[in-house]
Structure 1
Amino acid sequence: MGQWSQALVLLAFIQFSVVAAFTDVLDSTALLSLKANWMNVPSSWVGSDPCGDLWVGIECNNSRVIAIILSNMNLTGQLSGDIGAFSELQNLDLSFNTNMTGILPQEIGSLKNLQTLSLMGCGFTGPIPSTIGSLQQLISISLNSNKFIGQIPNSIGNLSNLYYLDLTDNQLEGPIPVSDGNGTKSGLDMLLKTRHFHLGNNKLSGTIPPKLFNPNMNLIHVLFDSNNLDGSIPSTLGLVQTLQMVRFDRNSLSGLPSNLNNLTNVIELSLSNNNLSGLMANLTGMNSLNYLDMSNNSFTVSDVPPWIASLPLLTTLMMENTQLQGQVPVDLFSLPDLKKVVLRNNHFNGTLDISNTNSNRLQLIDLRNNSISNVAQIPGGNITLLLEGNMVCDKTDQVTKSYCTASSPNSSYFPPPNNCMQISCNSDQVTSPNCKCTYPYKGIIVFRGLASFDLGNTTYYAKLAKSLMETLQSSALPVDSVSLSNPTVDSFGNIELSLEVFPFGQECFNQTAITMVGFALNNLSFDPPRSFGPFYLIAYTYGNCAAALNKSSRTSNGIIIGVAVGGSVLLLLVVLAVVYAFHQKKIAERASEQNNPFAHWDQNMGNGSAPQLQAAKRFSFEELKKYTNNFSEANSIGSGGYGKVYQGTLPTGQLIAIKRAQSDSMQGGLEFKTEIELLSRVHHKNLVSLLGFCFEQGEQMLVYEYIPNGTLMGSVSGKSGIRLDWMGRLKVTLGAARGLVYLHEHANPPIIHRDIKSNNILLDESFNAKVADFGLSKSEFDGERNSITTQVKGTLGYLDPEYYMTQQLTKKSDVYSFGVVMLELITARKPIQQGKYIVIEVRKAINKSKDLYNLHEILDPFIGMGKNLEGLEEFVDLAMRCVADSGDKRPTMDEVVKEIENIMKLSGMNLSADSEPTTANYYEASKSNSHHPSSNDVFGYSGSFPPSSIEPM
């Protein structure tokens, strides 16, 4: 060993020996190990005595670490098994570090004194370790908004002191765990002290075990919304008298217990978007109920249940599409606190009489798409009445036209006036309500309780902000003011508010304040004020201001041992020199590879030349591995015969979708190169963009832009949680058609897609259509030919029969497939369903002498409840021409676009050739899971199947 090496070892030993006098040896070693594996640790993490050197986020007592609170610090890395060394740890909060990834180690079960575990808003994957059930002191578990998979561990039932359980917004699946009764298996039914079951937005399946609930429980919140639960809600739920909020919306439940009305303390009951049938449960006696949502179920056709008018505190009634009929009862509007009544898409008729309105708070009555023939009295005050789609709207002499025109409920948010107009701040600063230029702590607060919310009431948000401000100040935090703004309703029925917390006495929060603000809000979330209801925070990464402030304000803790410090610095310099040399070598290698990006391209690929790319980038295998968390199951968003599709995130934050072929479905090298070259030169707003590819280490991967709202198939079937209305479907049809026109007429050379289907049409954040998956596409290299002789490929049900019989591929083959998609759009049926072919079924049903061509029985009921479907007949005519047996009788895609535009004009939509129409709407379907469509949906990146195959439905 050299002289320098010996000196460094000696200095390190001296330094470590000094540490032992301040921070417990095991705790110090574990923290240093965590630090070595994390990036972006707080700037105060210097030296080797975390307790004595006052490391930000580390709280100690008698040399032992009792709290690690590092919320929203932009930490990057994984939580190693070293975490199990902190035997005295009471609070662990790593929330909102989105780059904190990997699995949660089994060693978490060694933290026997842990009371709060808060890992919300990180990127953790894999299963929740069963060892978590050994943490007998746990009071709060917040693992929401991660990517956990697998089943909920039964061992959680061992946590006898647990108060708060939040596993929302993950990818947990399987049944709800309950005990077996003989002591060998625990379950959630054993959590008698727990007040909160927050398990929504996962993939939980199966029936709800009756054993889950019992009268000895103290639950106030039962939130199982947006899962895959089926069967009936057990009657044991009615035994939990303490319940205040119940959400089972967005599942596949089919039955309700008769004793729901035993829940006399429930404020909010949401059972919408299920498969509930039979008579609606009698809720007489639920005198605390504020918010009731039974929408989008299949109850037995009936009049409005009389018990609704007996709910004294009801503010919001949501019963859209629930088979209600008859006249709207007059006494319904006599409820004193009623604000909002939504009864659209039912079968109400007769005269609407709201003269008995007894509420000064009533804001909205939505009765669109019913059969009301008269209105007894026009409402006064600020009531918004929506009657579009009723017979009364044909009698313009009896009702003001404004009630019969397409409109949305008035829920506009008007921000408070800006009283700081004269204040000039830097571009990256925000003016606080007290007119100070600052860098606020920002995030989104997601409220899961809707009973008390008034989206258009600015005063209400000011009240919430004041309450939050008081909470933060009571924690002695340097907070100047709090602002809440921009209320929206997400696809899961929750209300989101933008949060800004402004620092007091300085431009920005230091790192200690950042961690404490997050910790305070996290703790408030599991015991919120009654006026708030349950909520959780999604915090944004705080800027560089905090690091700079900490650097300038941090005082020296003195030199404990000069030699030790000097040795540490020297050791650090040596390590940095090695790292720098290694880094420079990697940069040089990367630069060389960039100059010749296909230097390692497999020479067996046809002619051996690198692909001629116009826009796509070559990604390395290691890059894509990093962007997808090592191709983890948590990042998998679909699969098919070709392999899997993974969601990834580029360093810029852009989401991507990576199609990774499995070995037995890889194309030949020449075919793969041809596909990349083809995709790299098609650019249109209605086509999914190829961002790059990977061809190394025996891999074939294509990297696409990520399209958030899934496939058209997912929307049509309802799996994506979104249902398009008639206008929305026209908009999608036009967008997809425009994309095909670009391929057929404007690409050079023209391209035949060859696999048009609803699963290959994606919907972006604005529900614009994007055609995807060009794995089977063919180029028309000879402009004089009208067809290409080629092996038949495609998807059964969408496949052009003329192409199938003759093997002559033409642009009209795409037209045929597009016609099938059009029929799928209006019927919500698969092309081949129960042995019946959609084209034949529509042909048999059409009777042009009857209304809507006699297609009432075959139309998707969600398309508009049979009303206001202007242009439907013309749409059907066009679709049937597209699926003509002979290609000569089919229109071109250019002609299809023009006809769809005419249909949309007939329907009253404004559009131009250069922009998508903007008046289409969508509404929530009967099922939804996660912030994404079904994982089986594959997001349309379904890829090319084995070259010799025809893809089945």
Structure 2
Amino acid sequence: MACLPFLGILMSSRTRGSLFLVTFCCLLLHVTGSRTDPLEVNALQEIKRSLIDPMRNLSNWEKGDPCTSNWTGIICFRRSHEDGHFHVQELQLMRLNLSGELAPEVGQLLYLEILDVMWNNLTGRIPFEIGRISSLKLLLLNGNKFTGSLPPELGNLQKLNRLQVDENNITGSVPSSFGNLRSIKHLHFNNNTISGEIPVELSTLPRLAHLILDNNNLTGTLLPELARLPNLTILQLDNNNFEGSEIPEAYGNFPRLVKLSLRNCRLQGSIPDFSRIKNLSYLDLSWNNLTGTLPESKLSDNMTTIELSHNHLTGSIPQSFSELGSLQLLSLENNNLSGSVPTEIWQNKSFENSKLQVDLRNNNFSDATGNLITPDNVTLYLRGNPICKSPSIPFDKQFLKNVCGKKKQTPINSNTPCSNMSCPFENVQVSPGICLCKAPLSIDYRLKSPSFFFFTPHIENQFIEYITTSLKLETHQVTIDRLIDDNRLRPRLYLKLVPKEEIKFSKTEVIRIRNWFTSWSFSGNDFFGPYELLDFPLQGPYADLITKKSVISTAGWVMIVAGSTVTATVISVTATLLFIKKRHEKSHTLTKKRFSRTISREIEGVKKFSFVELSDATNGFDRSTLIGKGSYGKVYKGILQNKTEVAIKRGEETSMQSEKEFLNEIDLLSRLHHRNLVSLIGYSSENGEQMLVYEYMPNGNVRDWLSANAMETLSFSRRSHVALGSAKGILYLHNEANPPVIHRDIKTSNILLDCKLRAKVADFGLSRLAPAFGDGDGEHAHVSTVVRGTPGYLDPEYFMTQKLTVKSDVYSFGVVLLELLTGMHPFFEGTHIIREVRMANECGTVVSVVDSRMGQCSPNKVKKLAELALWCCEDRPETRPSMSKVVKELEGICQSVREPDMFSEKTKLLCTKTSSSSSPVPSPLSLLPGSDLDSGFFHPVKPR
């Protein structure tokens, strides 16, 4: 008989015998062989045991069969294998608030094609056992907290197409075995701490299209052999340290290269001739030490971006630059270029569907080849050139202000919202002036390495056509709800997909669209480059799919039908055994339910410690373990059972955070991943106490290092790098965190230093989520809130109006920069640090207020740091820089100031002790942070 019709009859009956027979049908797959391979079932169970799942997204992994019971995140092959078992084809666990470690048993899923655990909080090492899954095509581990090095065993994955481990804490070098990945197209390792040289073996990969290694610690020389890669379209190595290396002449011979980005790599030498690369669209060699003149040969007609600023280039601008019809950005600022400004770059050209920015600031241009008046869509910057003071150039006042004044800010693109008409779902603007009541699908999407600078309306139309063509939708069905492109390096788009005729998409269509994004099935597009899927939330009428059961497992019913026919003999043999098993499962389920009520009260994404565990870690909170005290409470050094050193912030009854602030800090920290932010390990809220458990930071906070009583101090070089690390952490909060965050209490005592004096921003108890349009250089939205923060660091605009913006953090950070520069407190001797430094700077005596303990430092670097700090401290928020600009300026200051490699004997000892006392393999609890303290946090920097 068929099981599915039989089930319908049985479920309508209330008799005990019918219930018995219903349970029988669950056993049919046991006896027909149509069940998941037992080895894979065991592997999945081990994976679940090693994960922390506070929202119980994987609760249905506790019963039934993975392939026939719709286990969340499991997609199986539609047909059983020749061995009679079903096998797991995809493991899709993106953004499920999971923490813990990825169990090595994942290597037992030998038929797996997609492993996706993106955007969780997973820690520990990447299991080398993954290298056994010979069928794997997509390995997506980005957006977690994985530590350790890249396993060389991954080089065994001959079918692997995409390897993404970006935005983790990966160290070590790139294994040479990765040269065996013969099918690989995408290697994305950016935003880690990978060191060593790029292995020459990568130059043999025949299909490699994207090599993205920016924001690491790579060293050595640029490999000329990379130019042999026949299909490479993107080479992005920004923010590494190839000091002394030149750009190989062979880089002018890439056969298919579209984007070459080598920003801030400490390169030297001249610029090669790139005219032979016919598809080159994007060239960024800024913030290096390049010399010589600009090549005269004409670049590709596809060129949109030429970024060569902050080098030592000489000579004039080649006439060939005037022939680039697709150019959006020509940035040559801060070089030694001279001659005439070639106005032909923008004259006699149509910019109806485009923009052009020509930035020539701080060079030696003395005249122009024609009229300097530019069209509306062209922006020209000339400040810092002799031409701005030339009496022969007829400037009017407004033109002088626009061209020779400060750089204007560019607003963020965004659609005009629809009117507030009555609609049970959402009024979606499908075209200008036309809004429809629909239930759209929302997609959080980021372009990882585009080959353009401005996201103009013309490019927006191209992008929508690209998306709709791949998804087989019509152009009016895709809208860009919001675009955040503050630094224009990785624009973030919030897409909305609108049903064509119906009010909402059908379940089948949702499944199809989601699978299209998660399987990276879009056709390749060199102009838009690779993308990141940040989130695919299912909201409103799609909320019933939030567990992803229907979305993720469509094969279950097919498999049930396939195994539905059995003989009566099988029924009689197995029925009794099933009844006993069912009773046992029922009892087990009741136990699980009782346990789940306890779990539901825990905070998602972090470990909950018992009071006893933390008491044991501190020897009963003994005075000998006390390492600091602040307005919130005392901080103790603890050692957990796994030998991990932690800092435990224990709130005092009279000064504890409100419950809202306590939960706010936990919630925020559990979702933030950056090497310059402190990491929360866990918390405890038993016995009426509030305790937070952080990573132990043996070198305390910056304020203590600046104290006049400190036993040791920081050099100018070290202070510059501390400033840069802190700025990168704040930039992540503003631009990369999802959702963005305003810290609201940036100060030197909230910047902690690890054993190597690397800076991490701490204390998120006062933080607020940034407003939807609060990013970028345009008009800054605000949050109206009661003024909180620390006197001396408070943004005056925020203090007067209670309007909080991301620029409030910029102001506070400016005060931090002034403290680093002078060693003074914000308030001293009846005045404020900003006033003192500003007066000294205006008088040209800024060196007189510099902290003399820093030793020798370049007056030019000191002046640049002072000017940057004062820029951040402008009274009006709109005149302050964004954090992305602050980071760029600090990178320039640090570029010629080497980060010290040597530490004092005390600091060496701290690093040795910390590393030796930790467990050999990092656990989910091995990376945690400090806290806000008014006075000394940790002993090493306090006076004896």
After TM superposition, is the score higher than 0.5? yes
With 524-533 and 225-234 compared, the bigger mean Cα shift is at: 524-533
RMSD of equivalent CA atoms: 6.1
Q: Does 1:363 align with 2:359?
A: no
2:402 match: 403
Deviation at 1:136, TM superposition (A): 0.9
Task: Give the Cα–Cα distance (whole angstroms) in 1 for the partners of residues 540 and 639 of structure 2.
Answer: 32
Q: Does 1:92 align with 2:109?
A: no
Q: Among residues 649, 654, 660, which one is paired with 2:696 in the alignment? A: 660
Q: Does 1:738 align with 2:792?
A: yes
Structure richer in strand, relative to its length: 1
User: CA separation of 1:206/1:601 partners in 2, compared to 1, >3 Å: closer, same or farther?
Assistant: same
User: CA separation of 1:480/1:577 partners in 2, compared to 1, >3 Å: closer, same or farther?
Assistant: farther
Q: Does 1:464 align with 2:480?
A: no
2:915 match: none
1:896 match: none
1:199 match: 213
SS at structure 2 position matched to 1:572: helix
Post-superposition Cα deviations, 1:832-890, rounded to whole Å, max 9, x if no partner, equal 69x9656xx98xxxxxxxxxxxxxx78746888xxxx9xxxxx9xxxxxxxxxxxxxxx
Matches within 5 A, 1:816-827: none
User: CA separation of 1:486/1:825 partners in 2, compared to 1, >3 Å: closer, same or farther?
Assistant: farther
Deviation at 1:523, TM superposition (A): 4.8
SS at structure 2 position matched to 1:321: coil
2:9 match: none
1:121 match: 143
Q: Among residues 914, 921, 925, which one is paired with 2:889 in the alignment? A: 925
Kept in 1, the 8 Å contact 2:231–2:256? The answer is yes
User: CA separation of 1:430/1:402 partners in 2, compared to 1, >3 Å: closer, same or farther?
Assistant: same
Matches within 5 A, 1:19-34: 20-34=33-47
With 43-52 and 318-327 compared, the bigger mean Cα shift is at: 43-52
1:157 match: 179
Task: Give the Cα–Cα distance (whole angstroms) in 2 for the partners of residues 347 and 664 of structure 1.
Answer: 43
Task: Give the Cα–Cα distance (whole angstroms) in 1 for the partners of residues 600 and 469 of structure 2.
Answer: 49
2:128 match: 106
1:52 match: 68
Task: Give the Cα–Cα distance (whole angstroms) in 1 for the partners of residues 173 and 614 of structure 2.
Answer: 44
Consecutive unaligned residues in structure 1, runs of 5 or more: 1-9, 179-186, 374-389, 639-644, 666-682, 693-700, 709-721, 724-734, 743-761, 774-793, 801-809, 843-856, 870-874, 876-899
1:252 match: 266
With CA pairs under 8 Å and 6+ residues apart, which has the higher RCO, 1 or 2?
A: 2
In the comparison of the two structures, how many residue pairs are matched? 739
Task: Give the Cα–Cα distance (whole angstroms) in 2 for the partners of residues 829 and 613 of structure 1.
Answer: 30
Post-superposition Cα deviations, 1:547-587, rounded to whole Å, max 9, x if no partner, equal 63478997996899763444323223235557778999999
User: CA separation of 1:461/1:546 partners in 2, compared to 1, >3 Å: closer, same or farther?
Assistant: same
SS at structure 1 position matched to 2:267: strand
Task: Give the Cα–Cα distance (whole angstroms) in 1 for the partners of residues 190 and 363 of structure 2.
Answer: 36
2:524 aligned partner, one-letter code = P
Q: Among residues 216, 222, 226, which one is paired with 2:235 in the alignment? A: 222
Kept in 1, the 8 Å contact 2:150–2:174? The answer is yes
SS at structure 2 position matched to 1:499: strand
Q: Does 1:435 align with 2:436?
A: yes
Q: Does 1:298 align with 2:309?
A: no
2:454 match: 454
1:493 aligned partner, one-letter code = L
Post-superposition Cα deviations, 1:69-119, rounded to whole Å, max 9, x if no partner, equal 3434444443211211122222222333x2333321011001011122223
Q: Does 1:332 align with 2:345?
A: yes
Deviation at 1:365, TM superposition (A): 2.0
Task: Give the Cα–Cα distance (whole angstroms) in 1 for the partners of residues 632 and 931 of structure 2.
Answer: 23
Kept in 1, the 8 Å contact 2:227–2:254? The answer is yes
1:769 match: 813
Kept in 1, the 8 Å contact 2:304–2:451? The answer is no
Kept in 2, the 8 Å contact 1:73–1:542? The answer is no
1:886 match: none
Deviation at 1:515, TM superposition (A): 7.3
Task: Give the Cα–Cα distance (whole angstroms) in 1 for the partners of residues 823 and 873 of structure 2.
Answer: 33
Consecutive unaligned residues in structure 2, runs of 5 or more: 1-22, 81-85, 565-574, 649-664, 685-691, 702-742, 753-759, 768-775, 778-788, 797-805, 904-928
Q: Among residues 528, 532, 547, which one is paired with 1:532 in the alignment? A: 528
1:496 aligned partner, one-letter code = R
1:676 match: none
Kept in 2, the 8 Å contact 1:321–1:343? The answer is no
1:64 match: 87
1:237 match: 251
Task: Give the Cα–Cα distance (whole angstroms) in 2 for the partners of residues 827 and 518 of structure 1.
Answer: 58
Kept in 1, the 8 Å contact 2:413–2:483? The answer is no
Q: Among residues 581, 602, 606, which one is paired with 2:622 in the alignment? A: 602
1:343 match: 359
Deviation at 1:278, TM superposition (A): 2.4
Kept in 2, the 8 Å contact 1:295–1:318? The answer is yes
Deviation at 1:342, TM superposition (A): 2.1
1:423 match: 422
Q: Among residues 662, 680, 698, which one is paired with 1:648 in the alignment? A: 680
Q: Does 1:314 align with 2:327?
A: yes
Task: Give the Cα–Cα distance (whole angstroms) in 1 for the partners of residues 582 and 429 of structure 2.
Answer: 42
SS at structure 2 position matched to 1:520: helix
Post-superposition Cα deviations, 1:881-930, rounded to whole Å, max 9, x if no partner, equal xxxxxxxxxxxxxxxxxxx9xxx9xx99656xxxx784457462384899
Deviation at 1:132, TM superposition (A): 0.3
Task: Give the Cα–Cα distance (whole angstroms) in 2 for the partners of residues 221 and 589 of structure 1.
Answer: 46
Matches within 5 A, 1:545-624: 548-549=544-545, 563=579, 564-577=581-594, 600-602=620-622
With 286-295 and 152-161 compared, the bigger mean Cα shift is at: 286-295
Task: Give the Cα–Cα distance (whole angstroms) in 1 for the partners of residues 209 and 761 of structure 2.
Answer: 47
Q: TM-score if structure 1 supplies the norm length?
A: 0.62
1:704 match: 763
Kept in 1, the 8 Å contact 2:214–2:236? The answer is yes
2:321 aligned partner, one-letter code = I
User: CA separation of 1:206/1:820 partners in 2, compared to 1, >3 Å: closer, same or farther?
Assistant: farther
Matches within 5 A, 1:5-24: 17-18=30-31, 20-24=33-37
Deviation at 1:168, TM superposition (A): 2.2
Task: Give the Cα–Cα distance (whole angstroms) in 2 for the partners of residues 190 and 31 of structure 1.
Answer: 36
1:925 aligned partner, one-letter code = E
Q: Does 1:82 align with 2:97?
A: no
Kept in 1, the 8 Å contact 2:444–2:492? The answer is no
User: CA separation of 1:544/1:616 partners in 2, compared to 1, >3 Å: closer, same or farther?
Assistant: farther
With 556-565 and 192-201 compared, the bigger mean Cα shift is at: 556-565
Kept in 1, the 8 Å contact 2:215–2:237? The answer is yes
* Identical amino acids, percent of aligned pairs: 19
Q: Does 1:498 align with 2:481?
A: no
1:454 aligned partner, one-letter code = F
Q: Among residues 176, 183, 190, which one is paired with 1:168 in the alignment? A: 190
User: CA separation of 1:348/1:524 partners in 2, compared to 1, >3 Å: closer, same or farther?
Assistant: farther
2:284 match: 270
SS at structure 2 position matched to 1:206: coil
2:813 aligned partner, one-letter code = A
1:756 match: none
Task: Give the Cα–Cα distance (whole angstroms) in 2 for the partners of residues 26 and 210 of structure 1.
Answer: 46
2:288 aligned partner, one-letter code = N
1:48 aligned partner, one-letter code = G
2:36 aligned partner, one-letter code = T
User: CA separation of 1:605/1:445 partners in 2, compared to 1, >3 Å: closer, same or farther?
Assistant: closer
User: CA separation of 1:421/1:619 partners in 2, compared to 1, >3 Å: closer, same or farther?
Assistant: farther
SS at structure 2 position matched to 1:155: helix
User: CA separation of 1:514/1:208 partners in 2, compared to 1, >3 Å: closer, same or farther?
Assistant: farther
1:83 aligned partner, one-letter code = V
